[in-house]
Amino acid sequence: MFSHKEAQKTQNKIVNAFICLLCIFVTVIGQAPADPVTPQRPTSEPPVPAASSDQPHEMTAADVEAFLDGLVPLQLKRDDIAGATISIVKDGKLLLAKGYGYADVEKKKPVSAQETLFRPGSVSKLFTWTAVMQLFEQGKLDLDRDVNDYLDYKIPDAFGKPITLKNILSHTPGFEEQIKDLFNTDASKLNLGEYLKTHIPKRIYPPGTVPAYSNYATAVAGYIVERVSGRPFEEYVAENILKPLNMAHSTFKQPLPPELASFMSNGYRLGSGTPEPFEVVNPFPAGSLSSSAVDMAQFMMAHLAEGQLGNAPILKPETAKLMHSRLFALDDGANAMCYGFYEESRNGQRIIGHGGDTVYFHSDLHLVLDQKVGFFVSYNSAGRGDSPGRVNLWQAFLDRYYPYTPAVTTSATAKEDATAASGTYMLSRRSESSFLKTASLLGQFTVSAVGDGDIEVPQLTGANGKPKRWQAVGPMTFLEHGGQDKLIFKPDQNGVMQLVLPYPFFVGQRVGTLENGKLLLTVLGISLGLMLLTLILWPVAWFVRRHYGHRLELSSSELLLRIGVRLVFLLNIIFIAALFGLTMYGLTHLEVFGDRGAKWFMLIQIIGVVAAVGALVVLVNAVLAWIGRRSIWGKLQATIMLLACLGVLWFAFAGNLLRFSSTY
């Protein structure tokens, strides 16, 4: 058997494999602003200086530049990031735009905020939704109408309610998550309509009820823009948003047009590593923009000026105000989804914005509406940390120029609320119909009552890698100690407790024992350990018996069962190991998560099905052991073998590992 320490290491490896898979569909193209629900490891992020609570700095170009120069180069060095680009606007003017590090490390080509193109990932969605709102104000789109009315294919009916553009804008269409074919390496095969028709996700929530971030839904919105306007999506955006805003270094086109290709920054996993290929996004309205920091400043200024940039309006003022207003929230005290933007209010300021990640680029855009301030940052490498530190950078910026100390009063029902909130939660943004559900099971987070009415969530860590602690400040409301993030607990429409997170595009949903990831992982680890131990001891026992001249007194049927049980164990180990191995390989070879890799996933699942059917052999062996002439040790051994097999089966069924699907 494994020692406790060895077992823990094995368990951690298994967790990390599926956490990596979880990260792909939680962050790729989608939003991951150092999200508090993705388990975090300690980072090497440098400490960020906080401004005095009563002495805000004046936001001048010189002060901002000195502030950034003191932080960003250190981030790049410590986290092994090649380069970053930043733009800040204030009162309708570009306050500062600056590049840091390299766009091409080998050639020592520096990042230029004016010219170098970065991939802002899901920040692209803001352009898609701006296009939707343009067509809305022209009377060509009804935000409350069934989106099927605008499509040339049909999203299947479910829950007796249609999906509307308001649902899509607020990330409440109810789709499950999927990652298949998000990226490819051949831009010549791009066909938005074909992609949408062949990758329809299952609907798992009634529309307008549960926030669950969806790249697919955003791509649907882009396709509607294309169909209603009569122009390819990338051409519509270029003509109606990029051109009026003089965003000459921006495009949704893939591959890049020749006149922009030379300005593109390389993407890196580590700045010290090799450059990676240009990422081609299949559902391109959800994340294919390439843009410079100065161009993004133009977009920010237009939205901060209620849709106007000089004499170039992209939205009517009333439309821009609507787009920035609250559309959907699970609680009045929580951040809300707006019409595409989402609230991320802090430091006493109402802030809307959007984050975005591809595999290599990581970006944030923030608008402090009342202060007419916009902040854009993008990094061209994932770096060594879980995020490039953009959240820490942004919060340090806010603390410097808008210092704020929240008033904190402990709730009178703190202990009772902490107990009621305790439990295990799973993200609403997840797969339900494919083997990717396993990633969600293993990405769960646990809320525990600690101290005198506080709660702790081990997976929600600060910049130092240590779990945050949360103080009860109101009925079922907890505020981060020494911070501003807030967790709100309240039952959903079915009475199941849900955890309202600081980011409004998903929610934590409490799970029961049968889907408790920690328990499932423990059972899987023990089961696989027993199977592996059995296989290792099998030849060892044979050599021992041969050495001492002993023979097993087994009938031919008993011998076949003995061999059969061990073959079933071998198949189970191959099944789990191959699935995890292929997943890990896919992290560096994204084509695995497409048609090319689908056949391999299916082959592995076939092995899993054979192993599952083989559990009958293990069951027969256990039954015969108890009714036959075996010793008590033989009976217990057969029972333990059966339990090990059932443990793997439980994990496989809970995670849908045996469910065949053409999309995942």
Residue 119: both structure tokens together:
């991939």
Are 571 and 611 in contact by the 8 Å Cβ rule? The answer is: yes
Q: Is the peptide bond before 475 cis (omega within 30 degrees of 0)?
A: no
Task: Judge whether residue 20 has pLDDT over 50.
Answer: no
- Residue 165 CB: number of other CB atoms within 10 A? 26
Distance of alpha carbon 538 from alpha carbon 570, whole angstroms? 12
**Which numeric CATH code is attached to 414-511?**
2.40.128
The span from the CA of 11 to the CA of 652, in Å, is 16
The partner residues of 118 in beta bridges, in order of sequence, read 291
pLDDT, tens digit (0-9, with 9 covering 90-100), for 120-160: 999 999 999 999 999 999 999 999 999 999 999 999 999 99
Question: Helix, strand or coil for residue 309?
Answer: strand
569 three-state secondary structure: helix
Q: Quick one: average pLDDT of 48-66?
A: 77
DSSP category for residue 505: T
46 to each of 84, 115, 464, 469, how far by Cα in Å? 16, 29, 9, 21
Backbone dihedral region for residue 453 (phi beyond 0: left; psi -120 to 50: alpha; all else: beta): left
587-600 burial, b if ≥16 CB within 10 A, otherwise e? beebebbbeebbee
Residues 6+ apart with CB under 8 A from 442: 14, 15, 18, 19, 22, 517, 520, 521
**pLDDT above 80 (res 37):** no
Looking at residues 227-242, what average pLDDT do you find?
A: 98
- The predicted structure's pLDDT at residue 54: 62
**Mean pLDDT over residues 234-247, rounded?**
98
Q: Rounded to a whole number, what is the distance in angstroms from the first to the last CA of the chain? A: 35
Q: How many CB atoms lie within 10 A of CB 575?
A: 23
Does 547 have pLDDT greater than 90? no
Q: What is the pLDDT of residues 149-189, one digit of tens each?
A: 999 999 999 999 999 999 999 999 999 998 888 888 778 77
User: How does DSSP classify residue 127?
Assistant: H
Sign of CA dihedral 543, 544, 549, 553: negative
Query: How far apart are alpha carbons 306 and 439 in whole angstroms?
Result: 41
177 and 214 in contact (C-beta within 8 Å)? yes
Are the folds of 31-401 and 414-511 the same?
A: no
Residue extents of the structural domains in the chain: 4-17+516-654, 31-401, 414-511
Mean pLDDT score of the chain, rounded to an integer?
89
Poorest-pLDDT segment among 20-24, 41-45, 50-54, 452-456: 41-45
pTM (predicted TM-score): 0.89
Largest CA distance in the chain: 97
Tell me the residue ranges of DSSP E strands in 285-358.
290-291, 308-309, 312-313, 342-343, 351-357
Q: Decide if domain 31-401 falls under CATH 3.10.310.10.
A: no
Give CA–CA dist 170/338, Å, rounded. 6
Instruction: Round to whole Å and give the CA distance between 426 and 511.
Output: 7
| Predicted pLDDT at 43 | 35
Under 8 Å between Cβ of 344 and 359: no
pLDDT for 586: 79
Query: Percentage helix, strand, coil, to 5, in the chain?
Result: 45, 20, 40
- pLDDT classification of 47: cutoffs 50, 70, 90: very low
* pLDDT, average across residues 348-363: 96
Residue 10 has pLDDT above 60, yes or no: no
The separation between CA 431 and the C-alpha centre of its own chain, rounded to angstroms, equals 12
8 A C-beta contact, residue 370 and residue 350: yes
Res 19: pLDDT: 35
Question: Could you tell me where the DSSP H helices lie in 427-555?
Answer: 437-442, 517-548
